[in-house]
Structure 1
Amino acid sequence: MQVRDYCIKTATPDDLDGARSVMLDTVYRDFGTGYVPRWHRDIVDLDHAYVAPARHTLLVAVDERDGTVVATGALDSRGPAHPPNPRHLAERYPSGETAQLRRVYVRPGHRRRGLARQLVDELLNFAAADGGYRSVYLHTDPAVPGAEAFWRSLGKAVLDEREEPGGGQRIVHFEVPLP
């Protein structure tokens, strides 16, 4: 898929270091958490998490001007785990039947160009082509500028933990329709 000046494609082994760099920069800069193994273990081994499994995928957006990876998007067949997520979400979105969108990140200098939307469209097409997914789930940190509005434009919030007693993890959970 082509977005002006960018090539969106399935990641190859040559793209993994660039994808990992986008992801790690995002968790340090945008999330402010840095690398936390229980949350970010997949980033270290992208091949095992997204490239090798048949029902998973990792997409990258490559800037054609210099060949660098500037955005990522991943999908796997793992539903939200309980804990840390509420039990009713884990039951509603079971592993194997749920395509979970993950790591949809765009470097700041490349935002507002349609890359995230195009990555998500391609991930949704991948999920639909699989034939075994009955739903698409994701969660986002609403503290990241633009994240909540972006996901609300594509799906519906199924749980906003900020509205729960104590605020939960303060994340918002979404379902996005399959094409």
Structure 2
Amino acid sequence: MDQRLVIRELREPDIAAAQEVMRSVIEDSAEAYDPVIHADVEDLRGSYLRRQGAFMLVVEDTTSGEVLATGGLRNGAFDPDEVPPQLALLERRYRDGGTGQVTRVHVLPQHRRCGIARALVEAIIDRARAEAQYVRLALHTHPYSPGALTFWLAMGFQEVLDDMEASHQIFLELPLSTERNRPVLPGTA
């Protein structure tokens, strides 16, 4: 990663710039920006700055002050009332609060392929390990995000559930402790 770039905690004055990065990247993908689905983007303050076990990092170009990328972590528990049947095993697996969900890893297109995402994700993993609140990290990715699955696998995450038929998502995990990843199959969790 370029020496002019710094990874740091999201601050109040960064909120609008971070939201713009996220909205821009989401709209650039095949996914439509939806204020309901992306409620955490709409409320970065409440979702990441004021919530226990959550944080948002940004990558800043120190020469221009521009926010180039975002990436965060929050509790990975699902709302049991809103989980579709095919994800019920993950809901049970994550309900104990021991799973941190990696979220909103977005890099502006003109700054991709420069090591920014890798450095950002490594910073998220390092902080999660240092804080020791979670035993595993989890995330989901989509097939329309070019290179995403390959990237996450290279970062050490392992596929635990392929839900391409229903939700068009692949779920991955990275153990932070001695826990071993295991696929989520009927009867396990």
TM-score, scaled relative to structure 1? 0.89
Aligned to 1:108: 109
- Cα distance in 2 for partners of 1:121, 1:94 equals 25
Among 37, 40, 57, the alignment partner of 1:39 is 37
Residues 39-118 of structure 1 mapped to structure 2, 5 A cutoff: 39-82=37-80, 83-84=83-84, 86-94=87-95, 96-118=97-119
Q: Deviations over 1:98-150 (max 9, x none)?
A: 11000000000001111111111111122112222111100011211111111
CA contact (8 A) 1:93 1:137 kept: no
Aligned to 1:12: 11
| Letter paired with 2:9 | T
Structure having the larger proportion of residues in helix: 1
CA contact (8 A) 1:93 1:135 kept: no
| Letter paired with 2:88 | R
| Letter paired with 1:156 | Q
Aligned to 2:130: 129
1:67 positional shift: 0.9
- Bigger Rg over Cα: 2
- Cα distance in 2 for partners of 1:152, 1:39 equals 25
| Letter paired with 1:69 | V
1:81 positional shift: 4.2
Q: Which stretches in structure 2 are left out of the alignment for 5+ residues?
A: 178-189
Q: How many residues align?
A: 173
Aligned to 1:156: 158
- Cα distance in 2 for partners of 1:12, 1:95 equals 29
After TM superposition, the structure 1 stretch with the greater mean CA deviation from structure 2, 44-53 or 73-82, is: 73-82
1:152 positional shift: 1.4
TM-score, scaled relative to structure 2? 0.85
Q: Alpha carbon RMSD of aligned pairs, Å?
A: 1.7
| Letter paired with 1:111 | R
1:45 positional shift: 0.8
